[in-house]
């Protein structure tokens, strides 16, 4: 049995598993490995220093796979924002057919992508934001529960509630995101109203993920309690792996008189990149979700995706069927 949904049909992939965009991780080698395994790999645009570097990374990915892959463009408020329009142009000029958007007010980008026939997946953390994105014209909503790595929003709604609540109001195909990493999660997502899953942290712990082995082993050794919520005080909550650095960020932030500049040196993206690339876990933040508690090995992307699909099929045809009739 193959698991076919509107997601697999729309994206032209074999199995409804998407690798979400991840800063410093979403590079060609990981995206190609996921796509070659039957899922949808995604390159993270802003990991590349310039739009021209993004063009080259897209071409590099094309030398590694002839399967569909996408590009993530995350729009975040910033004092010195990157040249989003130039990155968007690089994506369009490169002939990319699938884009994952996330972040703040994507309308301008959605309009341009849609005008060029690009399928847009929009990741959001609230039903109301998903409804708004559908009105903007996006094709797929990736609904991201509180369990996720990255920014889960300020509502603190876990996937068990958020996914069906979104499915009640959103009629375009949905991906369930945040807390997914095995076949049980895929079956649960389908039961809750999604038509596929979007995984980040689980794909960090794969052989092809372009990060240091120490980081992969940190994820494997951590459990479901091994995350910290940071930036809560500043209304920009982020979930990261529990490390000495993130413990320090939590401790400083808890002081009544603390301000963002007190933690700024600890949380810079550049330092996070150093941690991922050198394996020095205390060099910077490592973004990871509660799914760490269900990650016990570092397989290839092909083995991981096959395992998830096989497990899901076994649950659907075996355990669940035994409960019926």
Question: For 233-281, how does the pLDDT look when each residue is reduced to its tens digit (9 = 90+)?
Answer: 999 999 999 999 999 999 999 999 999 999 999 999 999 999 999 999 9
Whole-number pLDDT of residue 213: 98
Please state the rounded mean pLDDT for residues 106-130.
97
Q: Look at residues 308, 292, 298, 305 and name the one whose alpha carbon lies nearest to residue 184.
A: 308
Residues 140 and 161: their CA atoms lie apart, in Å, by: 19
**183: helix, coil or strand?**
helix
Residues 183 and 207: their CA atoms lie apart, in Å, by: 19
Residue 288 has pLDDT above 80, yes or no: yes
Residues 224 and 295: their CA atoms lie apart, in Å, by: 9
Residue 284 has pLDDT above 90, yes or no: yes
Geometric angle at alpha carbon 101, from 117 and 148, rounded to 5°: 145
Whole-number pLDDT of residue 324: 86
Residues 17 and 302: their CA atoms lie apart, in Å, by: 12
Question: For 148-193, how does the pLDDT look when each residue is reduced to its tens digit (9 = 90+)?
Answer: 999 999 999 999 999 999 999 999 999 999 999 999 999 999 999 9
Residue 325 has pLDDT above 90, yes or no: no
How many residues make up the chain in this entry? 325
Residues 290 and 276: their CA atoms lie apart, in Å, by: 18
User: How would residue 1 be classed by pLDDT, with cut points 50, 70 and 90?
Assistant: low
Residue 105 has pLDDT above 90, yes or no: no
Whole-number pLDDT of residue 76: 85
Please state the rounded mean pLDDT for residues 30-59.
98
Please state the rounded mean pLDDT for residues 209-226.
98
- Whether the CB-CB separation of 130 and 170 falls below 8 Å is answered with yes
First to last CA, the chain: 21
Residue 258 burial by CB count (10 A; 0-12/13-18/19+): exposed, middle or buried? middle
User: How would residue 88 be classed by pLDDT, with cut points 50, 70 and 90?
Assistant: very high
Residues 41 and 58: their CA atoms lie apart, in Å, by: 12
Please state the rounded mean pLDDT for residues 83-112.
96
Q: What is the mean pLDDT of the chain?
A: 97
Instruction: Report domain 6-210+297-322's class.
Output: alpha beta
The sign one gets for the Cα dihedral 165, 169, 174, 177 is: negative
Q: How far is CA 37 from CA 23, 63, 114, 306, in A?
A: 22, 16, 27, 8
The percent of residues above 90 in pLDDT, for the chain, comes to 96
Radius of gyration of the chain (CA): 19
Residue 298 has pLDDT above 90, yes or no: yes
Please state the rounded mean pLDDT for residues 282-309.
98
List the domain boundaries for the chain: 6-210+297-322, 227-287
The percent of residues above 70 in pLDDT, for the chain, comes to 100
User: How would residue 13 be classed by pLDDT, with cut points 50, 70 and 90?
Assistant: very high
Please state the rounded mean pLDDT for residues 277-306.
98
């Amino acid at each position: 049995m193959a698991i076919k949904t509107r997601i697999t049909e729309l994206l032209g992939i074999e199995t409804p598993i998407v690798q979400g965009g991840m800063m410093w991780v979403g590079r060609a080698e990981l995206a190609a490995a996921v796509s070659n395994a039957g899922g949808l790999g995604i390159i993270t645009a802003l990991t590349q220093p310039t739009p021209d570097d993004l063009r080259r990374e897209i071409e590099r990915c094309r030398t590694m796979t002839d399967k569909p892959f996408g590009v993530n463009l995350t729009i975040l408020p910033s004092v010195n924002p990157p040249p989003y329009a130039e990155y968007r142009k690089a994506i369009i000029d490169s002939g990319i057919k699938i884009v994952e958007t996330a972040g703040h007010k994507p309308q301008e980008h959605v309009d341009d992508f849609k005008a060029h026939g690009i399928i847009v997946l929009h990741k959001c953390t609230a039903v109301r934001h998903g409804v708004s994105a559908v009105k903007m014209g996006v094709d797929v909503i990736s609904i991201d529960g509180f369990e996720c790595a990255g920014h889960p929003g300020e509502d603190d709604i876990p996937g068990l509630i958020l996914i069906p609540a979104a499915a009640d109001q959103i009629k375009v195909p949905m991906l369930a995101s945040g807390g997914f990493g095995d076949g049980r999660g895929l079956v649960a997502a389908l039961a809750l109203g999604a038509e596929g899953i979007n995984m980040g942290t689980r794909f960090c712990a794969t052989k092809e993920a372009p990060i240091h082995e120490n980081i992969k082993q940190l994820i494997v050794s951590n459990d479901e309690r091994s995350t910290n919520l940071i930036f809560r005080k500043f209304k920009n909550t982020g979930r990261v792996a529990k490390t000495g650095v993130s413990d320090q960020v939590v401790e400083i932030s808890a002081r009544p008189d603390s301000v963002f500049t007190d933690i700024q040196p600890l949380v810079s993206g550049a330092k996070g990149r150093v941690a991922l690339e050198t394996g020095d876990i205390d060099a910077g933040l490592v973004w990871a979700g509660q799914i760490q508690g269900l990650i016990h090995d570092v397989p290839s992307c092909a083995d991981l995706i096959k395992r998830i699909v096989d497990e899901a099929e076994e649950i659907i045809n075996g355990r669940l069927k035994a409960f019926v009739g």
